[in-house]
Structure 1
Amino acid sequence: MISLTSYGWNTHFEQHFHTYQTQGLEAARVAAIEGFRHKLLTASGHVDATLSGALMNSAENRDLPKVGDWVAFKAYDNEGIVIAVLPRINELSRKMPGRSTEKQVIAVNIDTAFIVQGLDRDFNPMRLQRYIVQIMQCGITPVVLLNKQDLVADPESYRRQVMALGYDCPVLLLSATGREGLEKWVAEHLLHEKTYVLIGSSGVGKSTLVNALLGYRLQEEGTVSSLNHKGKHTTVSRNLVMLPSGAMLIDSPGMREFGVTLDADEQGMHYHPLLTALADECRFHDCTHRHEPGCAVTAAVQTGDLPREVYDSYLKISKEQAHYQGDSVEKRRVERQFGKIAKQVARYRKQRKY
């Protein structure tokens, strides 16, 4: 038997599982999802499972099991049936790619998210800022990994550019192929019984990092296209694996878009530390930092004290935030209206016995 704490089980899940335990169900963690098959980590080993009909038909897609979820399941012969998903500690999500404003859940119950950028072609501080903003608003700690440091002449200059964004998060230089920085990363940031996720664009070396940590090839390492510098034949699914250090790590497919999903009651300013430091000096407390007189933020842009690209990134993220919030509010209004109509129809049928 394996202790579930090795997979990240803690008192949060224990208290929510009690009811299911009295029903004779077992607890497991979702390690991978392949079509309708869910690969579970249990106290007795690996189990393949499918979702119960009741769970599949009653839950929204975002509430169905995701990699990293803890579930209650019923053992049946050599397989299992997932009955329920235990409440999550957090969700790493993004806005769905394209024009949709739906939220896509990438992984759940995460302690730290490692944002990987390659220093050969992928390095982009503004894209990095977008990742950091979204991860922070999901309630997850971000750590930046600048991979392929062996391919540039002055890797420390790239680290300084990230630090200049003002975020209080570690920024590590490493090389998956040359193994520089890997031991420091493992010793300081890949801790026993904690859960981590690797995110970033295709071709930045996420799978190579996982393979280097494991000591064997979990995923095929893709090459980088000479046409668009994007990774090809790289990770296409998410897998939760245990590292030799005892840490749990999720490798995710490369993402070309990473839209923000700030909630309607979020101002978002504390996700932009350089602007936050200036905002207290604005003339108006509700300054939008766009056109108001006496705005310390726009003044800093004009004097060069605040980099123009950082300010433009803030405007772009704020615009996306407003669009996402507006669509979410309208969607909830429509859902409430539909709910009222459904109740009226139910009452009418009951009265008419129809």
Structure 2
Amino acid sequence: MPTLQSYGWNEHFMRHSEQINSQSLEVARVLSIQGFKHLLITETGNVDAELAGALLNSREPEAYPKVGDWVLMKRYDEEGIIIDILPRINALSRKAPGTQSTRQVLAANIDAAFIVQGLDRDFNPMRLQRYLQQTVQCNIRPVVILNKADLVPDPETYRQAVLELGYDCPVILTSALNESQQEAWTRQYLQPRHTYILLGSSGVGKSTLLNSLLGYRLQEEGTTSTSNRKGKHTTTARHLILLPNGSMIIDVPGMREFGVTGESGNEGVHHPLINELASQCRFGDCTHQHEPGCAVTTAVQDGTLPELVYRSYLKLLREQYHFKASEADKRRNEKQFSKVARQIFKHRKDTKY
């Protein structure tokens, strides 16, 4: 039976567990979540668990346990109650779909993100830059997988287009149906006891990739809608899966929206190419849009900075600013509501007889 070390238990989590585990609670990792049920892996095997009421009432939804989290639990009969969550190394988040500015945490404690695009019809550099930007700002190393390379005449041109985006990350050309290609890149990038996540739109071949990595069919392979040429969802929930080579992968349903939020206190979109040019701008607070002496806009004009990268940068910057502004408004409203609630409680307490 795999041990907790097989699932990524390390000194970081051990240290925090010793600091906060005063009740001799059991350590576990979240493998999947279905409604209120959390499937956990413990030292003795799998167990279903639910959140303790105190945990539910004291945390924001984004701080609830997610797939990949390490938690402390107490057993009751055949099930468990999750009492606390160990501090995360990182967490991959996005703006939740819809108009409200809320953060949705997809998974936690990830070593690298495999961002998959299909070369048959899904390849979109601006969407890819969105994934790359958010992943990097969540302190997760990105790896780009360009799948279905066998379906285009010159796949290398697609790889070069990704490299021109300026992110220092590996770019893999492969076909999920080519066994030798699969073995080549997985041998290099999938390390035992490390946790990875598969990201991408529906129909890019994530399920086919996962089935190939497992050596058997876990997910049904998706088809593409004939009406809109978009992929159909085959994965319906996030799951952490232990692969035969000892690495772990989190499979995520295909996402049509991947809004940026800005993480780790970042005030702007920190793109590698633009960061490098920004040091040459005349003004330290240059917005790289209309100021004289801007090295970024000059680079766009002379062609050394791809216009596609620049336009995508501005779009992501506006989105991130809007998200942070809306999030700040929400916090102010919540703070005001709490203040009013305290005043009402005090008034009721003072006038009680």
* TM-score for both structures, normalised by structure 2: 0.94
Give, in whole Å, the separation in 1 of the partners of 2:247 and 2:219: 18
8 Å contact kept, 1:220–1:233: no
**1:31-90 per-position Cα deviation (integer Å, ceiling 9, x unaligned):** 111122211111111111222222233322111111111111112222222222222111
Seen in structure 2, the aligned counterparts of structure 1 residues 16 and 110 have a Cα distance that, compared at 3 Å, is: same
Residue number in structure 2 paired with 1:80: 80
1:61-72 counterparts in 2 under 5 A? 61-72=61-72
Give the letter aligned to residue 318 of structure 1.
L
Deviation at 1:18, TM superposition (A): 2.5
Give, in whole Å, the separation in 2 of the partners of 1:329 and 1:264: 15
Residue number in structure 1 paired with 2:309: 310
Give, in whole Å, the separation in 2 of the partners of 1:330 and 1:340: 15
Structure 2 residue 336 is matched with structure 1 residue 348:
no
Q: Secondary structure at the match of 1:89?
A: coil
Give, in whole Å, the separation in 2 of the partners of 1:99 and 1:353: 43
**1:221-263 per-position Cα deviation (integer Å, ceiling 9, x unaligned):** 1111122222214111111010111011101000111111115
Deviation at 1:282, TM superposition (A): 1.9
Residue number in structure 1 paired with 2:295: 296
Give, in whole Å, the separation in 2 of the partners of 1:245 and 1:38: 25
Deviation at 1:353, TM superposition (A): 4.2
Give the letter aligned to residue 181 of structure 1.
Q
Give, in whole Å, the separation in 2 of the partners of 1:211 and 1:147: 14
1:169-248 counterparts in 2 under 5 A? 169-248=169-248
8 Å contact kept, 1:239–1:250: yes
8 Å contact kept, 1:20–1:72: no
**1:333-354 per-position Cα deviation (integer Å, ceiling 9, x unaligned):** 2222223223333433443346
1:150-161 counterparts in 2 under 5 A? 150-161=150-161
Give the letter aligned to residue 306 of structure 1.
L
Deviation at 1:302, TM superposition (A): 2.3
Q: Secondary structure at the match of 1:231?
A: coil
Give, in whole Å, the separation in 1 of the partners of 2:235 and 2:254: 7
Give the letter aligned to residue 326 of structure 1.
A
Unaligned stretches of 5+ residues in structure 2: none
Give the letter aligned to residue 171 of structure 2.
V
Give, in whole Å, the separation in 1 of the partners of 2:19 and 2:279: 49
8 Å contact kept, 1:150–1:178: no
Residue number in structure 2 paired with 1:259: 259
**1:110-155 per-position Cα deviation (integer Å, ceiling 9, x unaligned):** 1111100111111111111110100011111111111111111111
1:265-344 counterparts in 2 under 5 A? 265-269=265-269, 271-344=270-343
Give, in whole Å, the separation in 1 of the partners of 2:213 and 2:261: 32
Q: Secondary structure at the match of 1:232?
A: coil
Give, in whole Å, the separation in 1 of the partners of 2:66 and 2:266: 26
Q: Which range moved further: 344-353 or 47-56? A: 344-353
8 Å contact kept, 2:137–2:264: no
8 Å contact kept, 1:221–1:233: no
**1:177-229 per-position Cα deviation (integer Å, ceiling 9, x unaligned):** 12242122222111111111000000111111111011111111111112222
Q: Secondary structure at the match of 2:179?
A: coil
8 Å contact kept, 2:126–2:312: yes
Give, in whole Å, the separation in 1 of the partners of 2:252 and 2:35: 16
8 Å contact kept, 2:202–2:233: no
Residue number in structure 1 paired with 2:35: 35
Q: Secondary structure at the match of 2:293?
A: coil
Residue number in structure 1 paired with 2:12: 12
Seen in structure 2, the aligned counterparts of structure 1 residues 100 and 301 have a Cα distance that, compared at 3 Å, is: same
| Number of equivalenced pairs | 353
8 Å contact kept, 1:264–1:325: no
Structure 2 residue 166 is matched with structure 1 residue 166:
yes
Deviation at 1:284, TM superposition (A): 1.4
Q: Secondary structure at the match of 2:39?
A: strand
Give the letter aligned to residue 287 of structure 1.
C
8 Å contact kept, 2:166–2:272: yes
* TM-score for both structures, normalised by structure 1: 0.94
- RMSD of aligned residue pairs (Cα, Å): 1.8
Q: Secondary structure at the match of 1:65?
A: coil
